[in-house]
Every structure is written in C-alpha cells, then in structure tokens.
Amino acid sequence: MSEAGALSENVTPAETYADLVTAIEAPRAILMMVPAGKPVDEVIAALTPLLSPGDLLIDGGNANFHDTNRRVAETGAIDFLGVGVSGGEEGARHGPSMMAGGDRGTWARVAPIFTAIAAKHKGEACAAWLGPEGAGHFVKTVHNGSEYADMQMIAEGYGILRDGMGMAAPEMAPVFVGWNGGRLKSYLIEITAEVLAATDGATGGPVLEVIVDAAGQKGTGRWTAIEAQHLGAPVPVIDAAVTARNLSARREARGMGQAAFGAAPMPLDSLSQADLESALIAGKILCYDQGFGMLAAAGAQYDWQLDLPAIARVWREGCIIRSAMLDDMAQAFEEDVARDLMLAPVFAALLAEHHDGLRRVVAEASRHGLPVPALSAALSYFDAMRTARGTADMIQAQRDYFGRHGFVRLDTGAEHQHGPWAD
C-alpha cells in the first residue's frame, strides 16, 4: 500500500477473488490485465460464479478476437468487453490508446473512465467503441501487425546505413532526428534516434552492438497475417515483417550462409539519405493502406461496420504506431471512407513524390545484397496497384486448362467460359 503514494487512500487491497467482488459495489466493472489466452479464461472462470447479472468483465489484454467473440457469448448475463490497449510502459503512465469492442451500451457505462485515462490528441481522447464482439481486439491486432511492418522498414533503413554506407550508430542518430522533424514524425522514428544514440554501460560503445539480432514476438503480428489470408485481404508488408522476425531467429543458419556466400560488400554509395527517407515515407503509406484495407474487409465480413476515421483518430496518440500521418489519414477517410488510402489526394501526392526513392532503395539494396523484405513488398504492392491489367489472366487460363475452373471473358463479361483446350 505504501508504494501507492498519494493514491493509497483510494486503494482497497483484495487477497482473493471473493474479497475483490465483495469490495466493489454492484453493478461491478472489473478490468482484467492478464496474459492472453488460457489465463484470461481461468480468471473469468474464477470470477463468474461470484458475480451478478449486469456485472461487467473487461479484457484489456492482447486477446485473439476469436477468443473475445467466444467469451462474449459464454459470459451470458455477465456483460463483457474486449478492449485493445496500446502504449507500452509510457502509455500505462501517461495514457494509452484504447480500442473497445462489445455491446455499445455496455461501453457507454464505462466510457467516461476510459476516456479520462486515455492519451489525448488536441484534447480528444484516444479511446473509442469500434464495434461489437471482438472488434476492438481485432483492431488492436491490425495495429500490432502495422507496428511489426513499421519497425521492420525502419530496421531495413538502419541496415542500409550500417551495412551499406558504413555508418556507426551514433552517426545515424541525427539522421533519424532530422526525419522525425518531417513527414516521418512518429513515436517509432523518435525512439529509433534515441536507441541509436544510447551507450552501453559495460562496454562504452553503442548499445546496439551488444544486442542479439533476433527479434521476439508475442503473436499478434502473426495473427494479422493469418486473418488477412482468411479475409482475402492483401497485407504483403505485414507478411514480410512477420517472416523477417521468424528469419531473425535463425542466427546459426544465417552465420553459415554468410560463411558460404559472403556478406554484402561496402560501400553502397549510389543511395542518399534522402532516398531512404523517401522509401520510408512511401513504405509507411502503403503499409497503412493495406492495414486499413484489411479493417474494411473485416467490417464487411463480420458485419461490424468499423469506423475507419475513428480508428485513425484513436491511433494518433498513446499507441506505439502514433504518427503525424494519422491526422491526414483520419481526414482522408472522413472525406471518402470507401476510397483506398493511397488514392486520397494527400497520400497520392506523397507517393508520386517518393515512390522513385523507394524504387531506388529496393533496387540498389537488392543489387548490393542487402535484405529489404518489407520495403520490397511495399514496392511490389505499389506496382501491382497501379497496373490496370495484370497477369492473372494467365493464372485463370492455367486453372481452366488443368481443372476446367472457367474464366470470365474480358470482351463480353460472360462467366464460366472455357478455352479451346477444353475440347
């Protein structure tokens, strides 16, 4: 209790679930912040017999939205909300971003509490009801997938500066500080500059030099990739970021690969820092275009009617992917929610300005042997999205040839057509 300081007078200790329930006046609202999966079900199983109809359980963890859907159905007379919470340690101290799913009336009961503690953007709380059932946790999942992608693209830029241009971490820090003053202004770019400038207390060198190059993950990025496949929603930048994390774990195999084939040579002097900045600007826009496209697909699939402008607004402060671009994204969706984000005038103009930089970075990195999987995926997506007539006619012809799957005629629109090979 003494550790609570000035808040100690408002804290009531409870050693058992029964003590907790007894201490709260009905109708109760209990927020659970425990690891996702089985621990949540165990807490629900322990609390439910002690609760009364109309009491409310709130899961604020990184739950899989399928589990949240199930829990909404299973808790019966006990109300249930699934609230995705983002912000990490800083969000816990200064206000997170919160994405709620469940019954809208139930959210209204506790909304004043959540909006009071949420991060604020120009006075507007970054907490909102986003849809029924597991909609809030689904939005948080896509948030985390976008986070994976953003981090991977930044890491690829760092890799080019380090392994292609021979820059030490302290030299790179001012580069990221400069980028954070422009279109790339965001929490992740900001902390990247701080990480690059940090010194290891034991060695006196850059702290990055003592960190094992194997990225951990809790699974939410992987869930994004899996659910995107179920929805038929293309998210290649997120897919590439998840694969890159998996590949990072294969350190021994990568060491053997370098011994067998050699490392990328230095210097890579055909790229500028401005090219890298352009690549990250274009890659970020294309990544978010994919993420919001996935949210739109889920809204249609599950009849959630997800509010894309509200989602963009909720992400503007408090969460890990907060960035200056999200203001423009919210405005773009308010103007035309059905339009692809990359086609909104502000982002179409940015892509027109910066996609050549993305192309130069991907091309030169590939020629030089530097891995840029997420940036490459962003470029391929951009090129596919600006190609009015693609190459899937060949795939449909092949499918019809070996399986009589049929095709649609381009000239007449007739369906279930077959090629001459069918004879």
Pair (127, 155) in one structural domain: no
Task: Name the nearest CA neighbour of 70 among 133, 6, 132, 155.
Answer: 133
- For the chain, the average pLDDT equals 95
Query: Among residues 3, 90, 140, 335, which one is catalytic?
Result: 140
CA distance 274 to 269: 13
Q: Phi-psi category of 172—alpha, beta or left, where left has phi over 0 and alpha has psi -120 to 50?
A: alpha
List Cβ neighbours of 56 (8 Å cut-off, separation of 6 or more). Answer: 27, 28, 29, 30, 78, 79, 80, 81, 106, 109, 110
**207-251 per-position pLDDT tens digit:** 999 999 999 877 788 999 999 999 999 999 999 999 999 999 999
Minimum mean pLDDT range among 8-17, 21-30, 309-318: 8-17
Task: Name the nearest CA neighbour of 65 among 48, 83, 47, 77.
Answer: 83
Q: Phi-psi category of 118—alpha, beta or left, where left has phi over 0 and alpha has psi -120 to 50?
A: beta
Task: Name the nearest CA neighbour of 371 among 148, 164, 144.
Answer: 164
Tokens representing 298 are 């889920």
CA distance 188 to 168: 19
CA distance 276 to 256: 29
Query: Among residues 25, 122, 147, 156, which one is catalytic?
Result: 147
Which whole-number Å values give the CA distances from 227 to 138, 168, 186, 230, 296, in the listed order?
9, 39, 27, 5, 13
Q: Is 147 a catalytic residue?
A: yes
Pair (82, 120) in one structural domain: yes
Confidence of residue 4 (pLDDT cuts 50, 70, 90): low
**Rg of the chain on CA atoms, in Å:** 24
CA distance 316 to 124: 10
Pair (175, 210) in one structural domain: yes
Pair (348, 399) in one structural domain: no
Pair (93, 229) in one structural domain: no
Residues constituting the chain: 423
pTM of the predicted protein model: 0.94
Query: Mean of the pLDDT values across residues 87-101?
Result: 89
Pair (50, 67) in one structural domain: yes
Pair (182, 83) in one structural domain: no
pLDDT at 237: 98
β-pairing verdict for 124-125 and 120-121: antiparallel
Q: What phi, psi does 199 have (nearest 5°)?
A: -110, 140
List Cβ neighbours of 126 (8 Å cut-off, separation of 6 or more). Answer: 95, 96, 97, 98, 118, 119, 120, 313, 314, 315, 316, 317, 318, 319
Pair (378, 411) in one structural domain: no
Tell the residue number behind the tokens 């990055």, with chain if given.
208
CATH number at residue 113: 3.40.50.720
Pair (148, 33) in one structural domain: no
Q: Give how many domains the chain has, as a whole number.
A: 3
Share of the chain above pLDDT 70, in %: 99
Pair (117, 147) in one structural domain: no
Residue ranges making up the domain that contains 116: 2-133
Residue 215 sits at the vertex; the CA angle it makes with 167 and 292, to the nearest 5 degrees, is: 95
Query: CA-based diameter of the chain, in Å?
Result: 85
β-pairing verdict for 56-59 and 79-86: parallel
Pair (144, 129) in one structural domain: no
Tokens representing 140 are 């948080």
**47-59 per-position pLDDT tens digit:** 999 999 999 999 9
**124-133 per-position pLDDT tens digit:** 999 999 999 9
